[in-house]
């Protein structure tokens, strides 16, 4: 029986609920502990601590802060299936033409500021994270102004902060897939244009890309999430994410739980 620790905080922030996942976990015969990680105080509900201290194999799901904090304080294996190999600087060169930003350059923030720009570029953090949000930057436009205008915030960016800089691509739709071992287990649409659309399943062309990633000789970790984008030129890998911190949208939760649970014991 696999132990799951489910942080409900991100679900509450999204106006959703984490209970269905918990219900599915228990319905599949596994143990689920619900907790709420307080990002301001950096601690869990006290009743959850003994489960982490027990040394049992477990899977955690919840916010990025929750997963990072848990991995810092306990030797979780596989835990939230965290891996630095989920950063674009690792998987993008490995997957090559399967990716949307196959032409990407890697520049520090300081280098980016020094380079003249005559064409629009797409820019986002090379290592993922939320310090800087991805955006399209027009020539002559100040990055700080553009970021604040779109996202209403501007963080302090160190000069050595690594950026992914690529040619812009028009994205028509986006789908999320859960990869377990060498199989694409479940899929959900989550966006069409700029509109959020949560619908189970995906076009066959998107499934084909996800399956190609699942059987690829290079893999970031045994369980992860891959986002596939539709463009006028076809379907491409948009992003990889950690399983334990990614929204599952309208994916089939029972299929996911049954496929992921065995990996907790490894």
- What does the pLDDT profile of the chain (266 residues) look like in tens digits? 888 988 876 665 554 556 688 899 999 999 988 888 877 777 777 777 888 888 777 888 888 888 888 887 777 767 778 888 998 889 999 999 999 999 899 999 999 989 888 899 999 888 776 778 888 899 988 888 888 888 788 888 899 999 999 999 999 999 999 999 999 999 999 999 989 999 999 999 999 999 999 999 999 999 999 999 999 999 999 999 999 888 899 999 999 999 999 887 65
Apex CA 257: angle with CA 255 and CA 260, to 5°?
105
Q: Positive or negative CA dihedral for 197, 39, 86, 245?
A: negative
User: What does the DSSP 8-state code read for residue 4?
Assistant: E
Indicate the angle between helix axes 19-27 and 253-260, nearest 10 degrees.
60
């Amino acid at each position: 029986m696999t132990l799951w620790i489910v942080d409900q905080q991100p679900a509450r922030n999204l106006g959703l609920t984490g209970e269905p996942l918990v219900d599915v976990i228990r319905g599949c015969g596994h143990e689920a502990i619900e907790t709420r990680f307080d990002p301001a105080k950096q601690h869990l509900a006290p009743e959850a601590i003994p489960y982490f201290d027990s040394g049992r194999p477990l899977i955690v799901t919840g916010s990025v802060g929750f997963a990072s904090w848990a991995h810092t304080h306990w030797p979780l294996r596989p835990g939230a299936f965290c891996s630095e190999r989920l950063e674009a600087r690792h998987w993008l060169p490995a997957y090559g033409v399967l990716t949307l930003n196959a032409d990407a350059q890697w520049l520090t923030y300081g280098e980016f500021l020094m380079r003249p720009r005559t064409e629009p570029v797409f820019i986002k953090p090379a290592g993922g994270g939320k310090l800087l949000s991805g955006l399209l930057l027009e020539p002559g436009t100040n990055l700080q102004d553009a970021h604040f205008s779109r996202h209403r915030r501007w963080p302090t960016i160190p000069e050595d902060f690594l950026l992914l800089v690529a040619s812009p691509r028009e994205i028509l739709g986006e789908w999320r897939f859960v990869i377990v071992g060498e199989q694409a287990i479940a899929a959900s649409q989550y966006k069409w244009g700029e509109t959020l659309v949560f619908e189970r399943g995906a076009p066959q062309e998107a499934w084909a890309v996800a399956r190609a990633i699942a059987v690829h000789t290079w893999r970031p970790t045994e369980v992860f999430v891959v986002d596939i984008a539709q463009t006028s030129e076809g379907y491409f890998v948009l992003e990889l994410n950690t399983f334990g911190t990614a929204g599952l949208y309208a994916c089939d939760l029972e299929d996911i739980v049954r496929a992921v649970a065995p990996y907790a014991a490894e």
